[in-house]
Structure 1
Amino acid sequence: MVRFSNSLIGVLNVITLVLSIPIIGGGIWLSQRANTDCEKFLERPLVALGVFLFLVSLAGFVGACCRNSCLLWLYLVVMFLLILLLVCFTVFAFVVTNKGAGEVVSGRGFKEYRLGDYSDWLQRRVEKASNWRRIRSCLQQGKVCESLQNKNQTWDQFIKDNLSPIQSGCCKPPSACNFTYMNGTAWNKPPGFNSSDVPDCNTWQSGQSTLCYDCQSCKAGVLANLKHDWKKVAVANIIFLIFLVVVYSIGCCAFRNNRDDNHHPRYK
Protein backbone atom coordinates (compact mmCIF):
# COMPACT_ATOMS: atom_id res chain seq x y z
CA MET A 1 0.00 0.00 0.00
CA VAL A 2 1.42 3.36 -1.03
CA ARG A 3 1.85 5.57 2.02
CA PHE A 4 -0.11 8.78 2.52
CA SER A 5 2.79 11.17 1.78
CA ASN A 6 3.50 9.39 -1.51
CA SER A 7 -0.16 9.55 -2.50
CA LEU A 8 -0.42 13.25 -1.60
CA ILE A 9 2.69 14.14 -3.59
CA GLY A 10 1.29 12.15 -6.52
CA VAL A 11 -2.04 14.02 -6.41
CA LEU A 12 -0.38 17.45 -6.15
CA ASN A 13 1.87 16.70 -9.11
CA VAL A 14 -1.04 15.43 -11.22
CA ILE A 15 -2.72 18.82 -10.64
CA THR A 16 0.40 20.80 -11.69
CA LEU A 17 0.91 18.39 -14.60
CA VAL A 18 -2.58 19.15 -15.89
CA LEU A 19 -2.08 22.90 -15.34
CA SER A 20 1.16 22.88 -17.36
CA ILE A 21 -0.62 21.71 -20.52
CA PRO A 22 -2.75 24.87 -21.10
CA ILE A 23 0.30 27.03 -20.23
CA ILE A 24 2.33 25.31 -22.97
CA GLY A 25 -0.64 25.54 -25.34
CA GLY A 26 -1.07 29.24 -24.58
CA GLY A 27 2.60 29.90 -25.34
CA ILE A 28 2.39 28.02 -28.65
CA TRP A 29 -0.84 29.81 -29.60
CA LEU A 30 0.73 33.16 -28.76
CA SER A 31 3.79 32.39 -30.90
CA GLN A 32 1.52 31.81 -33.90
CA ARG A 33 -0.86 34.72 -33.32
CA ALA A 34 1.45 37.38 -31.83
CA ASN A 35 1.39 40.66 -33.74
CA THR A 36 3.09 43.00 -31.29
CA ASP A 37 6.49 43.03 -29.61
CA CYS A 38 4.82 42.72 -26.19
CA GLU A 39 2.98 39.54 -27.18
CA LYS A 40 6.11 38.05 -28.77
CA PHE A 41 8.06 38.84 -25.60
CA LEU A 42 5.66 36.67 -23.55
CA GLU A 43 5.59 33.55 -25.75
CA ARG A 44 8.97 32.04 -24.81
CA PRO A 45 8.64 32.48 -21.02
CA LEU A 46 5.18 30.88 -21.18
CA VAL A 47 6.40 27.83 -23.10
CA ALA A 48 9.49 27.51 -20.87
CA LEU A 49 7.36 27.73 -17.70
CA GLY A 50 4.91 25.15 -19.03
CA VAL A 51 7.65 22.68 -20.01
CA PHE A 52 9.39 23.17 -16.66
CA LEU A 53 6.18 22.49 -14.71
CA PHE A 54 5.41 19.46 -16.87
CA LEU A 55 8.82 17.81 -16.41
CA VAL A 56 9.09 18.54 -12.69
CA SER A 57 5.52 17.36 -12.03
CA LEU A 58 6.12 14.21 -14.05
CA ALA A 59 9.28 13.45 -12.08
CA GLY A 60 7.47 14.02 -8.79
CA PHE A 61 4.47 11.90 -9.80
CA VAL A 62 6.50 8.94 -11.07
CA GLY A 63 8.95 9.18 -8.19
CA ALA A 64 6.22 9.16 -5.53
CA CYS A 65 3.72 6.71 -7.03
CA CYS A 66 6.20 4.27 -8.61
CA ARG A 67 8.59 4.52 -5.66
CA ASN A 68 11.44 5.66 -7.89
CA SER A 69 13.91 7.17 -5.45
CA CYS A 70 16.14 8.67 -8.17
CA LEU A 71 13.32 10.67 -9.77
CA LEU A 72 11.97 11.74 -6.39
CA TRP A 73 15.46 12.84 -5.32
CA LEU A 74 15.77 14.89 -8.53
CA TYR A 75 12.33 16.37 -7.87
CA LEU A 76 13.35 17.41 -4.34
CA VAL A 77 16.60 18.98 -5.59
CA VAL A 78 14.67 21.07 -8.14
CA MET A 79 12.10 22.05 -5.50
CA PHE A 80 14.87 23.12 -3.12
CA LEU A 81 16.51 25.26 -5.82
CA LEU A 82 13.12 26.77 -6.69
CA ILE A 83 12.49 27.66 -3.04
CA LEU A 84 15.96 29.21 -2.78
CA LEU A 85 15.41 31.18 -5.99
CA LEU A 86 12.03 32.50 -4.83
CA VAL A 87 13.47 33.56 -1.45
CA CYS A 88 16.27 35.48 -3.21
CA PHE A 89 13.86 37.09 -5.68
CA THR A 90 11.40 38.10 -2.95
CA VAL A 91 14.14 39.75 -0.86
CA PHE A 92 15.56 41.41 -3.98
CA ALA A 93 12.11 42.71 -5.02
CA PHE A 94 11.54 44.34 -1.63
CA VAL A 95 15.03 45.90 -1.64
CA VAL A 96 14.96 47.43 -5.14
CA THR A 97 11.39 48.72 -4.79
CA ASN A 98 11.93 50.25 -1.37
CA LYS A 99 12.75 53.69 -2.81
CA GLY A 100 10.60 55.95 -4.97
CA ALA A 101 7.20 57.59 -4.64
CA GLY A 102 5.10 60.03 -6.61
CA GLU A 103 5.16 63.72 -5.75
CA VAL A 104 1.90 65.51 -5.07
CA VAL A 105 1.41 68.52 -7.35
CA SER A 106 -0.52 71.45 -5.89
CA GLY A 107 -4.02 71.69 -7.34
CA ARG A 108 -3.74 68.38 -9.22
CA GLY A 109 -5.54 65.10 -8.62
CA PHE A 110 -2.56 63.13 -9.91
CA LYS A 111 1.07 62.69 -8.88
CA GLU A 112 4.22 63.22 -10.91
CA TYR A 113 7.33 61.07 -10.84
CA ARG A 114 11.09 61.64 -10.93
CA LEU A 115 13.49 58.97 -12.16
CA GLY A 116 16.16 59.87 -9.60
CA ASP A 117 13.87 58.84 -6.74
CA TYR A 118 14.14 55.13 -7.63
CA SER A 119 16.90 52.62 -6.96
CA ASP A 120 20.02 52.78 -9.12
CA TRP A 121 19.42 49.21 -10.34
CA LEU A 122 15.95 50.03 -11.66
CA GLN A 123 17.18 53.27 -13.22
CA ARG A 124 19.87 51.40 -15.16
CA ARG A 125 17.30 48.91 -16.45
CA VAL A 126 15.03 51.55 -18.01
CA GLU A 127 17.87 53.77 -19.21
CA LYS A 128 19.41 50.94 -21.23
CA ALA A 129 18.50 51.74 -24.83
CA SER A 130 17.46 48.23 -25.86
CA ASN A 131 15.22 47.81 -22.80
CA TRP A 132 13.55 51.18 -23.19
CA ARG A 133 12.95 50.62 -26.91
CA ARG A 134 10.92 47.51 -26.07
CA ILE A 135 9.06 49.20 -23.19
CA ARG A 136 8.32 52.25 -25.35
CA SER A 137 6.92 50.00 -28.07
CA CYS A 138 4.68 48.25 -25.55
CA LEU A 139 3.36 51.56 -24.22
CA GLN A 140 2.47 52.73 -27.72
CA GLN A 141 0.88 49.42 -28.69
CA GLY A 142 -1.08 49.40 -25.43
CA LYS A 143 -2.65 52.76 -26.42
CA VAL A 144 -2.25 54.06 -22.87
CA CYS A 145 -2.24 57.69 -23.98
CA GLU A 146 -4.94 57.24 -26.61
CA SER A 147 -7.42 56.31 -23.89
CA LEU A 148 -6.59 59.58 -22.12
CA GLN A 149 -7.09 61.56 -25.31
CA ASN A 150 -10.48 59.97 -25.95
CA LYS A 151 -11.86 61.33 -22.69
CA ASN A 152 -12.10 64.85 -24.19
CA GLN A 153 -11.86 66.45 -20.74
CA THR A 154 -11.93 70.14 -19.96
CA TRP A 155 -8.96 71.60 -18.06
CA ASP A 156 -10.84 71.48 -14.75
CA GLN A 157 -11.77 67.84 -15.32
CA PHE A 158 -8.23 66.94 -16.35
CA ILE A 159 -6.46 68.38 -13.30
CA LYS A 160 -8.85 66.51 -11.00
CA ASP A 161 -8.38 63.20 -12.81
CA ASN A 162 -6.52 60.41 -11.00
CA LEU A 163 -4.02 59.58 -13.73
CA SER A 164 -2.00 56.39 -13.57
CA PRO A 165 1.79 56.77 -13.13
CA ILE A 166 2.34 55.92 -16.81
CA GLN A 167 -0.32 58.36 -18.01
CA SER A 168 1.11 61.10 -15.79
CA GLY A 169 4.69 60.51 -16.89
CA CYS A 170 4.32 59.54 -20.55
CA CYS A 171 1.19 61.22 -21.93
CA LYS A 172 1.62 64.80 -20.76
CA PRO A 173 4.50 67.21 -20.10
CA PRO A 174 5.51 67.89 -16.48
CA SER A 175 3.41 70.59 -14.80
CA ALA A 176 6.56 72.71 -14.36
CA CYS A 177 6.63 73.27 -18.14
CA ASN A 178 3.47 75.40 -17.95
CA PHE A 179 2.36 74.48 -21.45
CA THR A 180 -1.15 75.43 -22.58
CA TYR A 181 -3.66 72.58 -22.24
CA MET A 182 -5.54 71.53 -25.39
CA ASN A 183 -6.60 68.00 -24.45
CA GLY A 184 -5.20 65.05 -22.49
CA THR A 185 -2.33 64.50 -24.93
CA ALA A 186 -2.15 67.82 -26.78
CA TRP A 187 -0.40 70.81 -25.23
CA ASN A 188 0.66 74.08 -26.84
CA LYS A 189 4.45 74.37 -26.61
CA PRO A 190 5.68 77.92 -27.29
CA PRO A 191 7.86 78.25 -30.44
CA GLY A 192 11.57 78.09 -29.66
CA PHE A 193 10.89 76.94 -26.12
CA ASN A 194 13.98 75.70 -24.25
CA SER A 195 14.25 74.81 -20.58
CA SER A 196 17.47 74.06 -18.74
CA ASP A 197 15.63 73.42 -15.46
CA VAL A 198 13.28 70.68 -16.70
CA PRO A 199 14.83 68.76 -19.65
CA ASP A 200 11.58 66.81 -20.18
CA CYS A 201 9.96 70.05 -21.35
CA ASN A 202 12.33 70.05 -24.34
CA THR A 203 11.72 66.33 -25.00
CA TRP A 204 7.94 66.66 -25.08
CA GLN A 205 6.30 66.66 -28.53
CA SER A 206 2.58 66.74 -29.37
CA GLY A 207 2.83 63.95 -31.96
CA GLN A 208 0.95 60.86 -30.76
CA SER A 209 3.93 58.63 -31.52
CA THR A 210 6.26 60.85 -29.46
CA LEU A 211 4.49 62.70 -26.62
CA CYS A 212 6.71 62.20 -23.54
CA TYR A 213 7.66 58.57 -24.25
CA ASP A 214 11.35 59.49 -24.12
CA CYS A 215 11.04 61.68 -21.02
CA GLN A 216 12.66 60.86 -17.70
CA SER A 217 9.20 61.26 -16.17
CA CYS A 218 7.88 58.48 -18.43
CA LYS A 219 10.63 56.10 -17.29
CA ALA A 220 9.83 57.08 -13.68
CA GLY A 221 6.14 56.38 -14.30
CA VAL A 222 6.99 52.92 -15.63
CA LEU A 223 9.10 52.26 -12.52
CA ALA A 224 6.27 53.46 -10.25
CA ASN A 225 3.94 51.00 -11.95
CA LEU A 226 6.60 48.27 -11.78
CA LYS A 227 7.18 48.95 -8.08
CA HIS A 228 3.47 48.52 -7.36
CA ASP A 229 3.33 45.25 -9.34
CA TRP A 230 6.52 43.86 -7.80
CA LYS A 231 5.18 44.50 -4.31
CA LYS A 232 2.12 42.40 -5.13
CA VAL A 233 4.27 39.70 -6.73
CA ALA A 234 6.53 39.62 -3.65
CA VAL A 235 3.53 39.11 -1.35
CA ALA A 236 2.20 36.37 -3.63
CA ASN A 237 5.67 34.78 -3.59
CA ILE A 238 5.60 34.57 0.20
CA ILE A 239 2.30 32.66 0.07
CA PHE A 240 3.66 30.43 -2.72
CA LEU A 241 6.85 29.81 -0.73
CA ILE A 242 4.84 28.56 2.25
CA PHE A 243 3.02 26.16 -0.09
CA LEU A 244 6.31 24.97 -1.64
CA VAL A 245 7.90 24.37 1.77
CA VAL A 246 4.90 22.24 2.78
CA VAL A 247 5.08 20.27 -0.49
CA TYR A 248 8.85 19.89 -0.10
CA SER A 249 8.40 18.53 3.44
CA ILE A 250 5.83 16.00 2.22
CA GLY A 251 8.19 15.09 -0.62
CA CYS A 252 10.97 14.42 1.89
CA CYS A 253 8.65 12.06 3.76
CA ALA A 254 7.81 10.29 0.50
CA PHE A 255 11.53 10.00 -0.33
CA ARG A 256 12.20 8.48 3.10
CA ASN A 257 9.34 6.03 2.52
CA ASN A 258 10.84 4.99 -0.82
CA ARG A 259 14.26 4.51 0.72
CA ASP A 260 12.88 2.45 3.61
CA ASP A 261 10.83 0.28 1.25
CA ASN A 262 13.87 -0.30 -0.98
CA HIS A 263 15.99 -1.29 2.00
CA HIS A 264 13.25 -3.36 3.62
CA PRO A 265 10.98 -4.66 0.83
CA ARG A 266 7.55 -5.83 1.85
CA TYR A 267 6.35 -9.29 0.88
CA LYS A 268 2.78 -10.17 0.27
Structure 2
Amino acid sequence: MVRCSNSLVGILNFFVFLLSIPILSSGIWLSLHGHTQCERFFDKPMIALGAFLMVVALAGVIGSCCRVSWLLWFYLCVMLLSIIVVLCFTIFAFVVTNKGSGETIPGKVYKEYRLGDYSEWLQKRVNDNHHWKNIRSCLYEDKFCNRLEFFSAGRYPNASEFSKKDLNSLESGCCKPSNDCNFTYISPTTWNKTSGTYKNPDCNTWDSDNKKLCYDCQSCKAGFIDNLKTSWKLVAIVNIVFLVVLIIVYAMACCAVKNNKDDNSYAQF
Protein backbone atom coordinates (compact mmCIF):
# COMPACT_ATOMS: atom_id res chain seq x y z
CA MET A 1 0.00 0.00 0.00
CA VAL A 2 1.41 3.35 -1.05
CA ARG A 3 1.74 5.56 1.99
CA CYS A 4 0.38 9.08 2.25
CA SER A 5 3.75 10.90 2.17
CA ASN A 6 4.80 9.07 -1.00
CA SER A 7 1.51 9.93 -2.67
CA LEU A 8 1.71 13.60 -1.70
CA VAL A 9 5.30 13.92 -2.92
CA GLY A 10 4.31 12.26 -6.19
CA ILE A 11 1.24 14.48 -6.70
CA LEU A 12 3.08 17.71 -5.86
CA ASN A 13 5.93 16.88 -8.21
CA PHE A 14 3.52 15.93 -10.96
CA PHE A 15 2.13 19.49 -10.82
CA VAL A 16 5.68 20.87 -10.76
CA PHE A 17 6.40 18.80 -13.88
CA LEU A 18 3.34 20.32 -15.59
CA LEU A 19 4.52 23.79 -14.56
CA SER A 20 7.98 23.18 -16.01
CA ILE A 21 6.57 22.56 -19.51
CA PRO A 22 5.30 26.13 -20.21
CA ILE A 23 8.42 27.64 -18.57
CA LEU A 24 10.74 25.56 -20.76
CA SER A 25 8.58 26.19 -23.85
CA SER A 26 8.55 29.96 -23.21
CA GLY A 27 12.34 30.02 -22.89
CA ILE A 28 12.77 28.12 -26.16
CA TRP A 29 10.25 30.40 -27.89
CA LEU A 30 12.09 33.53 -26.68
CA SER A 31 15.43 32.17 -27.87
CA LEU A 32 13.98 31.58 -31.34
CA HIS A 33 11.59 34.53 -31.72
CA GLY A 34 12.74 37.20 -29.22
CA HIS A 35 13.01 40.55 -30.99
CA THR A 36 14.57 42.71 -28.28
CA GLN A 37 17.66 42.26 -26.15
CA CYS A 38 15.49 42.28 -23.03
CA GLU A 39 13.41 39.38 -24.32
CA ARG A 40 16.51 37.41 -25.28
CA PHE A 41 17.99 38.11 -21.85
CA PHE A 42 15.36 35.86 -20.24
CA ASP A 43 15.54 32.89 -22.63
CA LYS A 44 18.52 31.03 -21.13
CA PRO A 45 17.41 31.45 -17.47
CA MET A 46 13.91 30.25 -18.36
CA ILE A 47 15.25 27.23 -20.27
CA ALA A 48 17.57 26.38 -17.36
CA LEU A 49 14.78 26.80 -14.79
CA GLY A 50 12.31 24.77 -16.85
CA ALA A 51 14.80 21.93 -17.40
CA PHE A 52 15.81 21.96 -13.72
CA LEU A 53 12.19 21.77 -12.50
CA MET A 54 11.40 19.02 -15.01
CA VAL A 55 14.34 16.81 -13.94
CA VAL A 56 13.72 17.34 -10.21
CA ALA A 57 9.97 16.73 -10.57
CA LEU A 58 10.55 13.50 -12.49
CA ALA A 59 12.96 12.34 -9.80
CA GLY A 60 10.35 13.11 -7.14
CA VAL A 61 7.51 11.38 -9.00
CA ILE A 62 9.45 8.23 -9.96
CA GLY A 63 11.30 8.03 -6.66
CA SER A 64 8.15 8.29 -4.52
CA CYS A 65 5.64 6.40 -6.64
CA CYS A 66 7.93 3.67 -8.01
CA ARG A 67 9.88 3.34 -4.77
CA VAL A 68 13.26 4.14 -6.37
CA SER A 69 15.27 5.10 -3.30
CA TRP A 70 18.34 6.55 -5.02
CA LEU A 71 16.14 8.98 -6.97
CA LEU A 72 14.50 10.10 -3.73
CA TRP A 73 17.93 10.64 -2.17
CA PHE A 74 18.88 12.72 -5.22
CA TYR A 75 15.60 14.62 -4.83
CA LEU A 76 16.32 15.26 -1.14
CA CYS A 77 19.80 16.61 -1.88
CA VAL A 78 18.44 18.97 -4.53
CA MET A 79 15.64 20.12 -2.22
CA LEU A 80 18.08 20.80 0.62
CA LEU A 81 20.34 22.76 -1.73
CA SER A 82 17.30 24.71 -3.00
CA ILE A 83 16.25 25.59 0.55
CA ILE A 84 19.75 26.89 1.33
CA VAL A 85 19.93 28.92 -1.91
CA VAL A 86 16.46 30.45 -1.45
CA LEU A 87 17.21 31.31 2.18
CA CYS A 88 20.55 32.95 1.30
CA PHE A 89 19.04 34.91 -1.59
CA THR A 90 16.15 36.13 0.60
CA ILE A 91 18.52 37.40 3.29
CA PHE A 92 20.79 38.95 0.65
CA ALA A 93 17.81 40.68 -1.07
CA PHE A 94 16.67 42.28 2.19
CA VAL A 95 20.23 43.43 3.03
CA VAL A 96 21.09 45.06 -0.34
CA THR A 97 17.68 46.74 -0.69
CA ASN A 98 17.66 48.14 2.83
CA LYS A 99 19.40 51.42 1.89
CA GLY A 100 18.23 54.26 -0.31
CA SER A 101 15.00 55.96 -1.31
CA GLY A 102 13.81 58.86 -3.41
CA GLU A 103 14.57 62.42 -2.34
CA THR A 104 11.58 64.72 -1.87
CA ILE A 105 11.93 68.04 -3.74
CA PRO A 106 10.02 71.02 -2.26
CA GLY A 107 7.13 72.07 -4.50
CA LYS A 108 7.25 68.91 -6.63
CA VAL A 109 5.18 65.76 -6.42
CA TYR A 110 7.82 63.51 -7.98
CA LYS A 111 11.01 62.49 -6.22
CA GLU A 112 14.61 62.52 -7.43
CA TYR A 113 17.13 59.76 -7.01
CA ARG A 114 20.83 59.84 -6.03
CA LEU A 115 23.03 56.84 -6.77
CA GLY A 116 25.14 57.34 -3.63
CA ASP A 117 22.10 56.68 -1.42
CA TYR A 118 21.95 52.99 -2.32
CA SER A 119 24.02 49.96 -1.33
CA GLU A 120 27.59 49.81 -2.63
CA TRP A 121 27.00 46.35 -4.15
CA LEU A 122 24.16 47.64 -6.34
CA GLN A 123 26.16 50.76 -7.22
CA LYS A 124 29.04 48.62 -8.47
CA ARG A 125 26.68 46.56 -10.63
CA VAL A 126 25.17 49.56 -12.44
CA ASN A 127 28.49 51.40 -12.70
CA ASP A 128 29.97 48.47 -14.61
CA ASN A 129 29.93 49.60 -18.26
CA HIS A 130 29.10 46.16 -19.63
CA HIS A 131 26.17 45.67 -17.25
CA TRP A 132 24.82 49.17 -17.75
CA LYS A 133 25.01 48.89 -21.53
CA ASN A 134 22.63 45.92 -21.40
CA ILE A 135 20.37 47.56 -18.83
CA ARG A 136 20.33 50.81 -20.81
CA SER A 137 19.34 48.93 -23.95
CA CYS A 138 16.43 47.32 -22.09
CA LEU A 139 15.30 50.65 -20.66
CA TYR A 140 15.33 52.28 -24.07
CA GLU A 141 13.53 49.37 -25.73
CA ASP A 142 10.79 49.59 -23.09
CA LYS A 143 9.91 53.09 -24.44
CA PHE A 144 8.60 54.35 -21.10
CA CYS A 145 10.00 57.82 -21.80
CA ASN A 146 8.11 57.86 -25.09
CA ARG A 147 4.93 56.94 -23.24
CA LEU A 148 5.55 59.71 -20.72
CA GLU A 149 5.87 62.23 -23.56
CA PHE A 150 2.85 60.87 -25.45
CA PHE A 151 0.40 60.67 -22.56
CA SER A 152 1.56 63.98 -21.06
CA ALA A 153 1.34 65.94 -24.33
CA GLY A 154 -0.64 69.13 -23.74
CA ARG A 155 -1.44 68.29 -20.13
CA TYR A 156 1.69 69.89 -18.71
CA PRO A 157 2.37 73.10 -20.69
CA ASN A 158 4.93 74.46 -18.22
CA ALA A 159 7.33 73.37 -15.50
CA SER A 160 4.92 74.36 -12.75
CA GLU A 161 2.25 72.01 -14.07
CA PHE A 162 4.76 69.26 -14.73
CA SER A 163 5.93 69.43 -11.10
CA LYS A 164 2.49 68.07 -10.15
CA LYS A 165 3.09 64.91 -12.17
CA ASP A 166 3.76 61.83 -10.04
CA LEU A 167 6.65 60.13 -11.86
CA ASN A 168 7.96 56.67 -11.08
CA SER A 169 11.67 56.23 -10.31
CA LEU A 170 12.64 55.38 -13.91
CA GLU A 171 10.70 58.28 -15.42
CA SER A 172 12.18 60.72 -12.93
CA GLY A 173 15.73 59.42 -13.20
CA CYS A 174 15.98 58.69 -16.95
CA CYS A 175 13.47 60.88 -18.82
CA LYS A 176 14.19 64.34 -17.44
CA PRO A 177 17.20 66.28 -16.14
CA SER A 178 17.92 66.71 -12.45
CA ASN A 179 16.30 69.57 -10.57
CA ASP A 180 19.86 70.81 -9.85
CA CYS A 181 20.31 71.76 -13.51
CA ASN A 182 17.59 74.45 -13.67
CA PHE A 183 17.04 73.77 -17.38
CA THR A 184 14.22 75.42 -19.31
CA TYR A 185 11.16 73.18 -19.55
CA ILE A 186 9.68 72.58 -23.02
CA SER A 187 7.95 69.23 -22.56
CA PRO A 188 8.38 66.25 -20.17
CA THR A 189 11.32 64.88 -22.18
CA THR A 190 12.56 68.10 -23.82
CA TRP A 191 14.49 70.67 -21.77
CA ASN A 192 16.80 73.40 -23.05
CA LYS A 193 20.17 73.61 -21.36
CA THR A 194 21.07 76.86 -19.66
CA SER A 195 24.59 78.30 -19.73
CA GLY A 196 26.90 77.97 -16.77
CA THR A 197 28.73 75.34 -14.78
CA TYR A 198 26.95 72.47 -13.13
CA LYS A 199 27.79 70.83 -9.83
CA ASN A 200 25.75 67.79 -10.79
CA PRO A 201 27.53 65.84 -13.60
CA ASP A 202 24.14 64.61 -14.85
CA CYS A 203 23.49 68.12 -16.19
CA ASN A 204 26.30 67.70 -18.72
CA THR A 205 25.11 64.19 -19.58
CA TRP A 206 21.51 65.21 -20.31
CA ASP A 207 20.48 65.41 -23.97
CA SER A 208 16.98 66.08 -25.35
CA ASP A 209 17.65 63.53 -28.09
CA ASN A 210 15.03 60.83 -27.58
CA LYS A 211 17.73 58.13 -27.84
CA LYS A 212 19.91 59.72 -25.16
CA LEU A 213 17.88 61.77 -22.65
CA CYS A 214 19.33 60.88 -19.22
CA TYR A 215 19.87 57.16 -19.84
CA ASP A 216 23.57 57.54 -18.98
CA CYS A 217 22.93 59.71 -15.92
CA GLN A 218 23.68 58.66 -12.37
CA SER A 219 20.06 59.50 -11.59
CA CYS A 220 18.88 56.93 -14.15
CA LYS A 221 21.04 54.27 -12.52
CA ALA A 222 19.61 55.28 -9.14
CA GLY A 223 16.08 55.16 -10.53
CA PHE A 224 16.73 51.69 -11.91
CA ILE A 225 18.03 50.51 -8.52
CA ASP A 226 15.01 51.99 -6.75
CA ASN A 227 12.70 50.18 -9.15
CA LEU A 228 14.74 47.00 -8.65
CA LYS A 229 14.45 47.39 -4.87
CA THR A 230 10.67 47.21 -5.07
CA SER A 231 10.81 44.08 -7.23
CA TRP A 232 13.41 42.38 -5.04
CA LYS A 233 11.48 43.06 -1.84
CA LEU A 234 8.38 41.54 -3.40
CA VAL A 235 10.41 38.53 -4.56
CA ALA A 236 11.93 38.20 -1.07
CA ILE A 237 8.45 38.11 0.51
CA VAL A 238 7.30 35.50 -2.02
CA ASN A 239 10.49 33.55 -1.30
CA ILE A 240 9.59 33.33 2.39
CA VAL A 241 6.31 31.63 1.48
CA PHE A 242 8.14 29.45 -1.06
CA LEU A 243 10.72 28.54 1.58
CA VAL A 244 8.00 27.31 3.95
CA VAL A 245 6.53 25.18 1.14
CA LEU A 246 9.97 23.76 0.30
CA ILE A 247 10.58 22.79 3.92
CA ILE A 248 7.18 21.05 4.13
CA VAL A 249 7.82 19.15 0.89
CA TYR A 250 11.33 18.29 2.07
CA ALA A 251 9.90 16.85 5.29
CA MET A 252 7.39 14.76 3.30
CA ALA A 253 10.21 13.54 1.04
CA CYS A 254 12.17 12.47 4.12
CA CYS A 255 9.14 10.44 5.21
CA ALA A 256 8.92 8.93 1.72
CA VAL A 257 12.58 7.87 1.92
CA LYS A 258 11.91 6.25 5.28
CA ASN A 259 8.87 4.48 3.82
CA ASN A 260 10.96 3.13 0.95
CA LYS A 261 13.61 1.94 3.38
CA ASP A 262 11.04 0.21 5.60
CA ASP A 263 9.37 -1.43 2.60
CA ASN A 264 12.70 -2.67 1.25
CA SER A 265 13.58 -4.09 4.66
CA TYR A 266 10.19 -5.81 4.86
CA ALA A 267 10.61 -7.24 1.34
CA GLN A 268 13.87 -8.93 2.37
CA PHE A 269 12.09 -11.02 4.95
1:11 matches 2:42? no
Deviation sequence 1:61-82 (CA, Å, 0-9, x none): 0000000110000000000000
Distance 1:2 1:170 in 2: 59
Unpaired segments of 5 or more residues in structure 1?
none
Secondary structure at the aligned position of 1:182 is classed as strand
Secondary structure at the aligned position of 1:160 is classed as coil
Residue in 1 that maps onto 2:172: 168
Opposite residue 117 of structure 1, the aligned amino acid is: D
- For residues 1-268 of structure 1, the aligned pairs below 5 Å read 1-150=1-150, 151-152=152-153, 153-155=156-158, 156-190=160-194, 193-195=196-198, 197-265=199-267
Unpaired segments of 5 or more residues in structure 2?
none
Opposite residue 206 of structure 1, the aligned amino acid is: S
Distance 1:264 1:17 in 2: 31
Distance 1:93 1:99 in 2: 11
Opposite residue 189 of structure 1, the aligned amino acid is: K
Q: Normalising by structure 1, report the TM-score.
A: 0.97
Secondary structure at the aligned position of 2:163 is classed as helix
TM-aligned CA deviation for residue 193 of structure 1 = 4.2
Distance 1:157 1:238 in 2: 43
Deviation sequence 1:96-115 (CA, Å, 0-9, x none): 11100100001111000000
TM-aligned CA deviation for residue 176 of structure 1 = 1.2
Distance 1:160 1:252 in 2: 58
Distance 1:158 1:244 in 2: 48
* Contact 1:193-1:202 at 8 Å conserved across structures: no
Identical amino acids, percent of aligned pairs: 54
Secondary structure at the aligned position of 2:267 is classed as coil
Instruction: Number of aligned residue pairs: give it.
Output: 265
Distance 2:27 2:176 in 1: 35
TM-aligned CA deviation for residue 264 of structure 1 = 1.3
Distance 2:73 2:104 in 1: 54
Distance 2:254 2:125 in 1: 40
Distance 2:43 2:90 in 1: 24
Distance 1:116 1:188 in 2: 27
Secondary structure at the aligned position of 1:181 is classed as strand
TM-aligned CA deviation for residue 157 of structure 1 = 3.3
Deviation sequence 1:115-141 (CA, Å, 0-9, x none): 000010000000000000000000110
TM-aligned CA deviation for residue 211 of structure 1 = 0.5
Q: Normalising by structure 2, report the TM-score.
A: 0.96
Give runs of ≥4 in structure 1 deviating > 4 Å. Answer: none
Distance 1:220 1:173 in 2: 13
